[in-house]
A and B are shown apart, each in its own frame.
Chain A
Amino acid sequence: MSEIKLMKGNEALAEAAIRAGLQGYFGYPITPQSEVMEYLALEEPKHNYVLLQAESEVAAVNMMYGAGGAGARVMTTTSSPGFSLMQEGISYIACAQIPCLFANIVRGGPGLGTIQSSQSDYFQATKGGGHGDYHLIVLAPNSVQEMVDHVYLGFKLADKYRSPAMLLSDGAIGQMMEKVQLPSPIEYKPDKPWATVGKKSGQERNYLTSLYIQPEEMEEKNIELQAKFKKIEENEVRFEEYKTNDAEIIIVSFGLSSRISKKSVDMAREAGLKVGLFRPITVWPFPANKIADIAARKQVKFFISVEMNAGQMLEDVKLAVNGKKPVYFYGRMGGIIPTPKEILTAVQERSRS
């Protein structure tokens, strides 16, 4: 049964995972996302999932590899420094093609950084993060409701493509409270003939590996993975447009900063500026084709990428626009959240120049 509640982003994420048929959670505490494991620990007696606090993020991601490889619906959540520690394991998971869900509740870096909200892990999330050629399916929620919806979607896409998926969220969305509609719980019945659950008599054993020592075999594996990524790019691009139809200025923004930019669009419209917002929901696969279409529109004068980092998605926007229109940037770093007014001022300055 679906229900409506007032919930913190991290708790909503945890509740959504339970309802989406979570079977295993392996994690390590780190601010600002520890509420996920705390919520799951409190709820544990009522459900059948396995919850284990690992000795490190390194161990947690490898428990995911084991449990996910053995066919379970598994999730871990962490924040930036912890997600860095998981990269090795994610590379193995991507190659061995184990479906599982990650959430990075991003905080400002580099290094130990700050516990305040940031979007400075965009490169790490969308460009692979670990060694080798691979991608995760990356969803960027901008509300507590989407923390819930993207857990369902992330699990679904992970299974569909035998691929790791992730939520690229941030500390503010993790900590803020909003009204959410929680969907009905689903009964999860995995169909994973490749899983290591014990060799069936008369059949070949299952084994999961990322080792292909002969370069010809490794290239073959890479071709297989790239074909999968291409399929994901063709089928799974998601985005939201706000007042872009007649817009002369396009703000491109994801996650929390897109939420703020929406307000800036309204303020700009009141001031007589035709501004629209283009918001990638999947930051990988990136909605490059759609941005290219918008760039081709006559009335569009320029793009401005608004992010809480030093300009990371900016590179993808520039590639998509491909020189057809100018692409500018406005951002704050280190855990500072820009105000709608600040963004509006940046847009106005560019439109005057």
Chain B
Amino acid sequence: MKEGYKLIYQKPKTLRKKRMHYCPGCFHATTHKLTMEVVEELGIQEKTIGVCPVGCSVFAYDYMDVDMQEAAHGRAAAVATGIKRMHPDKIVFSYQGDGDLAAIGTAETIHACNRGENFTFIFINNGIYGMTGGQMAPTTLEGQKTTTSPYGRDPKKVGLPLKMCEIVSQFDAVAYVERVSCNTPANARKAKRAIKKAFEYQIQGLGTTFIEVASNCPSGWKCTPEESLEWLKEKVFPYYPLGIFKNPEEK
């Protein structure tokens, strides 16, 4: 540190020195950082095991400096169940996108939640299949155009977007459910607080903790990062409101 300079921020030591492949403006990078900051602050790097999905965050193990397993598409909840059941004293999280968690992996998600598996879901909902090039997701908004819904999502044909927080908060064994975003610094701080609470509740053994990040996808949405933030506010938050859906006290 040069004389006269004061260190006010540095990336967490729990993030590896590896250049991320994420597109400019994508919340994956932010959410990775927030998650790893929480791991560092709680001092649980040596006790944490992550599971990454198939989707844009398939390479999460390249960036997060904790033990990790890369799961088949949709199966992260089952993989995390296997790990946590064998190691109840470890902190386990799955990091999944909407196609992974809410389409191909719906059964695994629902049943892990219903059993109250004591791990944390970090669910990135950006309303699109990013990695495969912008196809319709289970969370694509009504009328939203994607490469497989080029005239806009038609609910008569494919139903309305799934609301996962609203669904999983119904289960008795689920302890904590919150939908957050990273569209402003204030919201990113709230997101981090939510992830931290989820990990703390997990350490206390309270049951399933589920954090949904209402995210963006400038590349898939075919807009600038700045425009993607506008879309979040105007279109996404009215359908996917931010907030706590379930607290441990309400169990």
Contact = CB atoms under 8 A, between A and B. Distances in A.
A23 B86 contact: yes
A62 interface: yes
B70 A63 contact: no
Contact of B83 (A52, A58, A67, A201): A67
A198 B48 contact: yes
A211 B75 contact: no
A208 B82 contact: no
A59 B107 CA distance: 8
Contacts of A340: none
Interface of A: 23-24, 26, 50, 52, 54-56, 58-60, 62-72, 74, 88-89, 92, 96, 196-201, 205-211
A207 B82 contact: no
Contact of A197 (B67, B75, B81): B67
Label chain A's interface by main secondary structure.
mixed
A311 B51 CA distance: 42
A71 B85 CA distance: 12
A210 B70 contact: yes
Contacts of B85: 24, 50, 52, 63, 67
B171 to A, nearest CB: 14
A89 B47 CA distance: 26
Interface of B: 45-49, 51, 58-59, 61, 65-72, 75, 78-87, 90, 107-108, 111
Nearest to B80: A66
A61 B81 CA distance: 11
Contacts of B70: 96, 207-211
A293 B102 CA distance: 56
Given A88-B72, A198-B47, A205 B82 contact: no
A26 B111 CA distance: 14
A265 to B, nearest CB: 45
A64 B108 CA distance: 14
Nearest to A55: B111
B94 to A, nearest CB: 10
B86 A62 contact: no
